[in-house]
Amino acid sequence: MSDVLHIVGGGMAGSEAAWQAAQMGVDVVIHEMRPEVETFAHKTGNLAEMVCSNSFRSDDSEQNAVGLLHWEMRAAGGIIMAQADAHRLPAGGALAVDRDPFAEAVTAQLMAHPQISVSYGEITELPDQGHWIFATGPLTSSALGRAIQAETGSEALAFFDAIAPIVYFDSIDMSRAWMQSRYDKGDTEEERTAYLNCPMDRDQYEAFIDALLAADKAEFHEGETAGYFDGCLPIEVMAERGRETLRHGPMKPVGLTNPHQPDVKAHAVVQLRRDNALGTLYNIVGFQTKMKYGAQADVFRMIPGLEDARFARLGGIHRNTFLNSPTLLDARMRLKSRPNIRFAGQITGVEGYVESSAMGLLAGRMAAGDILGTNIAPPPPTTAMGALVTHITGGADARTFQPMNVNFGLFPPVEGLKGGRRGRKDRYKAYTDRAKSDWRDWLDATQSEAIA
Ligand SMILES: Cc1cc2nc3c(=O)[nH]c(=O)nc-3n(C[C@H](O)[C@H](O)[C@H](O)COP(=O)(O)OP(=O)(O)OC[C@H]3O[C@@H](n4cnc5c(N)ncnc54)[C@H](O)[C@@H]3O)c2cc1C
């Protein structure tokens, strides 16, 4: 078998994967279809092109999960972070990047590496032989998308996301909300209490509909046409179809009794469902939306019980190719049905430049480990890298899997710390201290294995 690592897609994830593997001494070929075949979002033929905003978000590695991911990637000698730092623009606590010089510098550095070559052209099949990483991103070409579907089944590859907002459980007011499945369905107590319910009276419902209709909405991009979201309409579109539509859809109040007010029949009920095995995150069922982010937080905090809600992520609908990774990938990001193939980046169901690069970093190291004969274990879930990869490869609920940003809700709790808003600063510091220590240990262990 060939010792070369083939990486399909030279975006954020593919570039980082290539760098990591080459730095470990492995020969790498990057297969990139641009500029020969274009996407609607990319504008250049550069590797690691940032397609939209120029922000890597917060750079605070003590109090912010994405800042922690920056820290871990820097500690691992990542090319994306090194070049982002070299092309940093003033942006307060955020890491903003001068996008064209950044992408040009990543491209030049990768091309100059003696163990990396770039082959331009579209890959349209999943190969049977050799070591491969597919990092073709949210705009994976159609031909390759069809090949992936043929391998995984059409249900396991989505071409758009329909993201309902996700709320931190510890920010929900349980003196107003309660746990109950509709009609108490389920064989176990856990199933009978699988949903978190927030009741509304008529006035609250009417005010909510007014706010929904008035809220600022984002435009649809090319490819996000109505055909894509049949069956998962944005809530504001449902509200536009009639003020009662939501009460007969995701907000229907039937089969539920509010234990706080057993004699009062709710006019509408918003349901939230557990989003991760840890039970720290809940998604608002059926609440995919194109409302702008600022408007979403205001509108959703009108829901009784969510007045102080903190959001792990807000809702959206985008053109986005991604796998049902919890069912398809093993813990080392290999396709279970074809372990010679790994996936990395946004196609694995993470979201954003930083998260995509991070998953490239892991896939590159693990694939290089396979070639070098060292079996690199995934990092522990107490690190930002480990929390993210654990979520996509098993921690998330496969039935409702949607792309995810890194956030502290993905981390196993640190015991003995104060909960709620008051304890947040100390809690996040404890998460990030633990993560940094565990990430250093993981790097040391995998590096010494690779050298041994
Ligand atoms: C319209 C749009 C706007 C976005 N805005 C933001 C934003 O503001 N901030 C943010 O953080 N994220 C944004 N994203 C998400 C962003 O795409 C990812 O964060 C990041 O670029 C994903 O990295 P990746 O490496 O997985 O994919 P990409 O960076 O897209 O890289 C994938 C590469 O694979 C190549 N490719 C695809 N198919 C093939 C094939 N068959 N053969 C060979 N090469 C192929 C593509 O040309 C591309 O270079 C946006 C996405 C879209 C579509």
Average pLDDT of the residues in 144-150 = 96
Find out whether 145 is annotated in a ligand binding site.
no
Average pLDDT of the residues in 219-226 = 58
Q: Is the confidence at residue 448, as pLDDT, over 80?
A: no
Find out whether 10 is annotated in a ligand binding site.
yes
How high is the pLDDT of residue 230?
Answer: 53
DSSP state of 346: G
Average pLDDT of the residues in 414-439 = 90
Find out whether 316 is annotated in a ligand binding site.
no
Pocket test for ligand 1, best of 29, 33, 69, 148 (most atoms within 8 A of CB): 33
Q: Is the confidence at residue 226, as pLDDT, over 50?
A: no
| CB-CB contact of 319 with 223 (8 Å) | yes
Q: Is the confidence at residue 211, as pLDDT, over 70?
A: yes
Beta carbons within 8 Å of 85's beta carbon, 6+ residues apart: 74, 95
Atom of ligand 1 nearest to the CA of 143: 41
Q: Is the confidence at residue 1, as pLDDT, over 60?
A: no
Pocket test for ligand 1, best of 353, 354, 405 (most atoms within 8 A of CB): 353
- CATH architecture assignment, domain 5-161+319-451: 3-Layer(bba) Sandwich (3.50)
How high is the pLDDT of residue 452?
Answer: 45
CA-nearest of 442, 444, 428 to 168 is 428
Q: Please tell me the residue having the least CA distance from ligand 1 atom 45.
A: 9
Beta carbons within 8 Å of 211's beta carbon, 6+ residues apart: 298, 299, 302
CA-nearest of 414, 341, 333, 347 to 378 is 333
Distance in Å, CA 292 to ligand 1 centroid = 21
Pocket test for ligand 1, best of 6, 7, 12 (most atoms within 8 A of CB): 12
How high is the pLDDT of residue 432?
Answer: 98
Beta carbons within 8 Å of 298's beta carbon, 6+ residues apart: 211, 215
What are the tens digits of pLDDT across the range 28-55? 999 999 999 999 889 999 999 999 889 9
Confidence at 447, pLDDT banded by 50, 70, 90: confident
Residue 356 tokens, joined: 């995509």
Q: Which residue has the higher pLDDT, 325 or 90?
A: 325
Q: Is the confidence at residue 2, as pLDDT, over 70?
A: no
Distance in Å, CA 417 to ligand 1 centroid = 39
Backbone angles phi, psi at 371, to 5 degrees: -70, -35
**Helix (H/G/I), strand (E/B), else coil: 316:** strand
How high is the pLDDT of residue 449?
Answer: 59
How high is the pLDDT of residue 227?
Answer: 47
DSSP letters of 273-288?
A: EE-BTTS-EEEETT--
**Helix (H/G/I), strand (E/B), else coil: 355:** helix
Round to whole Å and give the CA distance between 253 and 439. Answer: 46
CA-nearest of 158, 147, 210, 201 to 176 is 201
Find out whether 14 is annotated in a ligand binding site.
yes
Place of tokens 């990637």: 73
Distance in Å, CA 143 to ligand 1 centroid = 16
Confidence at 349, pLDDT banded by 50, 70, 90: very high
- The ligand 1 site (C-beta within 6 Å) comprises 8-14, 31-34, 39, 41-42, 51-53, 122-123, 135-141, 144, 221, 319, 345-347, 352-353, 356
Round to whole Å and give the CA distance between 77 and 34. Answer: 26
Backbone angles phi, psi at 158, to 5 degrees: -100, 150
Q: What is 166-314's CATH number, 1.20.950, 1.10.287, 1.10.3470, 2.40.30?
A: 2.40.30
Average pLDDT of the residues in 220-246 = 75
Round to whole Å and give the CA distance between 88 and 65. Answer: 20
Element (H, E) at 234: none
Round to whole Å and give the CA distance between 359 and 143. Answer: 24
Find out whether 13 is annotated in a ligand binding site.
yes
Residue 192 tokens, joined: 């009978």
What are the tens digits of pLDDT across the range 89-127? 888 888 999 999 999 999 999 999 999 999 999 999 999
Average pLDDT of the residues in 179-192 = 90
Average pLDDT of the residues in 174-182 = 96
Distance in Å, CA 135 to ligand 1 centroid = 9
Q: Is the confidence at residue 67, as pLDDT, over 90?
A: yes
Question: Which residues are 313's β-sheet partners?
Answer: 166
Considering the chain, what percentage of its residues have pLDDT values greater than 90? 80
Atom of ligand 1 nearest to the CA of 141: 38
CA-nearest of 180, 171, 197, 192 to 284 is 197
Find out whether 9 is annotated in a ligand binding site.
yes
Round to whole Å and give the CA distance between 379 and 377. Answer: 6
Confidence at 221, pLDDT banded by 50, 70, 90: low
Distance in Å, CA 250 to ligand 1 centroid = 32
Distance in Å, CA 51 to ligand 1 centroid = 7
Q: Please tell me the residue having the least CA distance from ligand 1 atom 11.
A: 352
Backbone angles phi, psi at 342, to 5 degrees: -110, 160
Residue 17 tokens, joined: 């994967």
The strand ranges marked E within 310-433 are 311-313, 316-323, 334-335, 338-343
| CB-CB contact of 7 with 17 (8 Å) | yes
Atom of ligand 1 nearest to the CA of 47: 49
Instruction: Number of helices (H) and strands (E) in the chain: give both, helices first.
Output: 13, 17
Question: CATH 2.40.30 spans which residues of the chain?
Answer: 166-314
Question: CATH 3.50.50.60 spans which residues of the chain?
Answer: 5-161+319-451
CA-nearest of 174, 347, 162 to 260 is 174
Average pLDDT of the residues in 269-275 = 93
Place of tokens 């690199």: 376
Q: Please tell me the residue having the least CA distance from ligand 1 atom 29.
A: 11
What are the tens digits of pLDDT across the range 148-161? 999 999 889 988 88
